[in-house]
Structure 1
Amino acid sequence: MEPRPRSFYALTAFFILFLVFLYGPTLTIGILSLQGPGGGLTFPMRGVSLHWFRDLFEQQAVGDIWGSFSRSLTLGLMVMVTTVVVSVMGGLAFRKRFVGATLLFYLIITSLVIPSILVSLGVGLIWSQSGLPVHWSTSGFGAQLTWTLPFGLLIMFAVFNRFDRSYEEAARDLGASPWQVIRHVVLPIIAPSLIGVALFGFTLSYDEFARTLLTSGSYNTLPLEIFGMTTNVTTPVLFALGTLTTVFSLIIILVFLLVVWLLNRRRARQGSNAGQGMV
């Protein structure tokens, strides 16, 4: 067995440092959230307990933690559903060439490079100048869609570029209507990709700060509430909140991955049954 070159160990060390840089802050917050009742915001730790997690579920003197959480959750679900529906419709529309398709495509993805705070300012001004109330469920919803829709559309463009149209042609030859082709052929095939778009939409909305800053109105979403708490909360309850929100995000990701795995397993089982039936 040949000895590994020195570059291997150098690159391994660099990769480990990258992982520490990537996940170190999150792990630090998780560790500090486990301090005892006399703990502070820095090391060294003063005891180990779940005191600050219990304190998080009690009435807080500052902040509206659970109200902001419910707003972020509701907003995330709204953005997720809208992103999935519009992305699928956009992906289907771009399968055929039409006048202005290229210009429209670049207009769609341009919002990704515009500074988020400018988008937030622009949407807030449009709502206020139109006499509409600036609210997280209206202007905040619209601002966040400028962030999630381009990602969803780009994913669907890639999916439909690889889509085998022979499945649709076979369904039409058997007498299926256009809606039946989409419902019974296209959507089941692209279902794992739709789950990916949904995950993008929800997670990008759930932790979005800049595009919500000037469009949420009088009620904060969870990222805005956490930012506000950093100026007046001086206990590890803030770390406990950060740990719980991180765990919640990981659970959401695992649920989506589980659904994708189940769909792929079901599809493989159906393909195996179909093959046995032909034999």
Structure 2
Amino acid sequence: MPVTTTRRAIVRVVTGAEPARTPDDLAVESPLVLGLAGEAIATLMRTPGHDLELTAGWLVVESGVRRADDVVQLRQCREDDTDRVHITLAAGVREPRPRAFVTSAACGVCSADVLDLSLLADGPPHTPGFTVPRDVLAGLPDVMRLQQKAFDRTGAVHAAVLAGADGTLGPVREDVGRHNAVDKVVGHALLAGALPATDRLLVVSGRVSFEIVQKAVAAGVAGIVAVSAPSSLAVDLAREHGLLLAGMVRRGRMNVYAGEDLLAS
């Protein structure tokens, strides 16, 4: 299901013209409650669409799931006028730590009481011999942009996608939250049996924070490509785990913050 948009009446103001009332497309932001064993464990503010993938991707970091069969069932429903996904995990899979309050669309780790990196320690390295040509990497954000349908309508959503070293893109996912878009992409790969994605690059439409690198490491991707810059902690984590990290990838230019040895001419 594509992400959800809605319409609201606005007043459009253009210099030299009279203000005009007109409908405008907006990205929907609404809560998704995740439940486990009959208890709510998290409330995510997200754009509705691909909610099962979002939940699966969220579990990759929060529970350390690595295979589709780590998740017995994801059941989506509507209860008490709220969208919900009920989770059943396989025996032996660590249950996610309940979040203390609502996780906003701007933050993926805000409501966690600690930053738990223990599940990242055994993350796989990139595929041996993996490299990506510079010109292919430089063009990935523009290729992804062509598939950002919700952004075209609203201008208010982020996007993410997994891409091969030849520039081939997987499914593009969009959401008001950067981390949600990444979770949807990672969740799609998990449910398709495509993790770890050691021969794939994670392409994102915004900046790269610690949480984005954390999700990339958990998914086992070879690197991250972003149109904006990373934070210092994001660079440190990418270097620690051997990821390629390219930011400010625009109009044929880029900054490579980590993993420059994975670039080919």
Q: TM-score, normalised by structure 1?
A: 0.23
| Highest RCO, 1 vs 2 (Cα 8 Å, sep ≥ 6) | 1
Greater percentage in strand:
2
Greater percentage in helix:
1
